[in-house]
Amino acid sequence: MFEYVQYNIAPWPWQLALYFFLIGTAGMTFVAAASPAVFGKVAEPFENSQKSSLIVSLLLLIVCGPLLISDLGMPERFLYPIIYFHWTSPLSWGSLFLPLFGAAIIGFWWGKIQDNAQLMKWSGILGSLLALSMPLYTGLDLMVHQSRELWSNPTIPLLFVVLSMTSGTALVSVIGMLSGGMSEAMTRLIRVVLFASVGITFWLFLGEVVTLWYGTGEELHAWEIINAEFGLRFWVLTFLVGTVVPLVILILPSMSSNPALVTVAGVAGSIGAYTFREVLLYAGQLTQIYY
């Protein structure tokens, strides 16, 4: 159909998939770092890795900014979404929240250096809300596209938040292991968070599959594309490696108390957190590429 003429591009390339992953990870790493100041005793086990988590979160944010800007056709105009703010565009909100999130991280860090508990608490609360907005706005960025049925789905922002919880917590876990191992309390806390996020991912994955099975013409087409072009990434890396393997590790008592295995579960979940978003981003664009 429609032979012999021109072909269309998928406008959003790998930079966006990587950005979605990194900014979500940065956000949830900060939430973990700020949680002792925000939630008090219940999050105390994260205190040991607080400084390293803060630094890593800031570094990721520093990587994300140029990554996003370099993807623009007019990188020198990167402030325009704030200057010419358009309230119905999630990208405008994201551009506004991104520097505010950076400021909150620095504010929290400054509070820690000054040993100012009040500053840490309020910058932690504000920063955590802004951190939550990072995966939320990237999910909304897809959800608002009424013409892309794979994206136009209210579970997408929730999915992106949950995937970021997995990758952020996994990063905190890796930091904990690299800085001399995790305590029993920290292992338990990370296990609980990972279990919740990977468990929700499992149900959202099944929800996505069922939605596509019973979907409209475009959703059925997306299903075909996912299986034909991204089968390895969807079934093996997202479902098996990114969801089933970590769930098994986190469920079995003999494995879930081992800090190294919990970290492995987190890293496996992070692989799925990346590939799930990548598949959704790409397949959503491919459904209309020949139209």
Residue ranges that bind another protein, judged by CB under 8 A = 1-15, 71-74, 77-78, 80-81, 83-84, 86-92, 95, 141, 144-148, 217-218, 221, 224, 282, 285-291
Cα 93–chain centre separation:
17
* Token pair for 186: 């920290």
Pick 20 or 108: Cβ nearer another protein: 20
10 phi and psi angles, rounded to 5 deg = -90, 115
- Judged by beta carbon, residue 217 or residue 253, the one nearer another protein is 217
Between 19 and 30, name the residue whose CB sits nearer to another protein: 19
Residue 95: CB minimum distance to another protein, A: 7
Angle between helix 184-213 and helix 217-229 axes, rounded to 10 deg: 120
CB within 8 Å of 272: residues ≥ 6 apart: 163, 166, 201, 237, 238, 239, 241, 242, 243, 246
Q: Taking the complex as a whole, how short is the minimal distance between the CB of residue 149 and another protein, in angstroms?
A: 9
Cβ burial 211-235 (10 Å sphere, 16+ → b, else e)? bbeeeeebbebbbebbeeebeebbe
CB of 133 to another protein, least distance (A): 15
Which tokens hold the place of 182? 């995790």
Considering the complex, state which of residue 194 and residue 225 has its C-beta at the smaller distance from another protein.
225
Q: Could you tell me the smallest distance in angstroms from the CB atom of residue 70 to another protein?
A: 9
Q: What angle do CA 16, 19, 25 make, to 5 degrees?
A: 145
Tell me how far, at minimum, the Cβ of 83 lies from another protein, in Å: 8
Tell me the C-alpha distance between 95 and 28, whole Å.
18
Q: Would you call 111 exposed, middle or buried from its count of C-beta atoms within 10 A (0-12, 13-18, 19+)?
A: buried
Q: Which is nearer to another protein, 37 or 222 (CB)?
A: 222
Half-sphere exposure of 167 (CA within 13 A, CB side): 27
By beta-carbon proximity to another protein, the closer residue of 151 and 205 is: 151
CB of 15 to another protein, least distance (A): 7
